[in-house]
Amino acid sequence: MITLSKNPGPIGVFDSGYGGLTILDGIRRLLPEYDYLYLGDNARAPYGPRSFDVVYEFTRQAVRFLFERGCQLVILGCNTASAKALRSIQQNDLPGWDSERRVLGVIRPTAEIIGSLTKSRHIGVLATEGTIKSESYNLEIKKLHPDVSVTGVACPFWVPLVEYNEADSPGADYFVKKCIDQLIEKDPAIDAVILGCTHYPILLPKIRKFMPTGINIIAQGDYVASSLKDYLQRHGDLEQRCSKGGVTHYLTTENPDTFREHAQIFLNEPIDVENVTLG
């Protein structure tokens, strides 16, 4: 059991690294009045190829850390963590830590909206190996829209392309095209594709270039943001415990200077970064 403050605190946004900044960006544009605390576990990223147990343990440590820093609500702004750790944290850990706090993920909001974005009822998911193998999108979408067929393809090179600032390079074309071609070959009837990894919106110009015309490309940031807005409206008590000052603070388990530099790929502003240790 840990002792946690009941005072209002920032909304926590967790990611394995930088990708969650695309989620934070969408949330802050819609809900600028709140304070945010972003945590990137850059020292242990990427999570995509890691096992279920390891992703659960790392994510558990991160959520607990954000709770100890005063967050009453934490968004797992990482598909891999949402796929492999969210359910376990909600069921196994939250009741013992503080049953009034909440942890939400990014898969459910995307699964909710997909029914209204496909006419053919055939959709594709591009994501990390971990997210695809977990079948989380398939399971969530089938619960909400049983008539929708879901086809997934893992894109293991897409995260490194973004992290190494190669998203706009000619070399990226090969890897982006390859995964899109694989997806369309698996199911040519697809008319909507979820970018099921937080890094992928950075590759959007290339994804648009190689995606056949007429296919709806779905980046999650805006949907996660509107789902959070709706959630806060429905949970007034929790909303009251989210502090409102419009301030965002950044934490990383790696070097703060490196984080600041890389974060510029995702954000367009100077940021204040602190190094922290999880464990």
Residues that bind ligand DGL (CB under 6 A): 15-17, 19, 45-48, 78-80, 128, 131, 159, 197-199
- The nearest distance, CB 199 to ligand DGL, in angstroms, is 5
Contact residues for 213 (Cβ-Cβ < 8 A; gap 6+):
none
Contact assessment for residue 197 and residue 131, using Cβ atoms and an 8 Å cutoff = yes
- The nearest distance, CB 23 to ligand DGL, in angstroms, is 9
Determine the Cα–Cα distance for residues 278 and 54; give it in Å rounded to an integer: 13
Active-site residue among 71, 155, 197, 242? 197
The residue (of 80 and 118) whose beta carbon lies closer to ligand DGL is 80
- The nearest distance, CB 234 to ligand DGL, in angstroms, is 26
Helices (H) and strands (E) in the chain, counts: 14, 10
Give the three-class secondary structure for 169: coil
Contact residues for 139 (Cβ-Cβ < 8 A; gap 6+):
none
Determine the Cα–Cα distance for residues 241 and 9; give it in Å rounded to an integer: 6
The residue (of 59 and 118) whose beta carbon lies closer to ligand DGL is 59
Both tokens of 126, joined, read 């591009």
- Give strand ranges (E) for the chain: 11-15, 36-40, 73-76, 102-104, 122-127, 149-154, 192-195, 216-218, 248-252, 273-275
Residue nearest to ligand DGL (CB): 48
- The nearest distance, CB 159 to ligand DGL, in angstroms, is 5
Determine the Cα–Cα distance for residues 256 and 42; give it in Å rounded to an integer: 10
Let me know if 155 is a catalytic residue: no
Determine the Cα–Cα distance for residues 130 and 6; give it in Å rounded to an integer: 35
- The nearest distance, CB 71 to ligand DGL, in angstroms, is 19
The residue (of 131 and 253) whose beta carbon lies closer to ligand DGL is 131
> What stretches of 193-254 show up as alpha helix (H) in DSSP?
204-210, 221-234, 236-240
The residue (of 129 and 239) whose beta carbon lies closer to ligand DGL is 129
Give the full edge-to-edge strand order of the sheet including 192-195: 149-154, 122-127, 192-195, 216-218
Both tokens of 158, joined, read 């897409």
Active-site residue among 78, 155, 179, 242? 78
- The nearest distance, CB 253 to ligand DGL, in angstroms, is 12
The residue (of 199 and 262) whose beta carbon lies closer to ligand DGL is 199
Q: Which residues are catalytic?
A: 78, 197
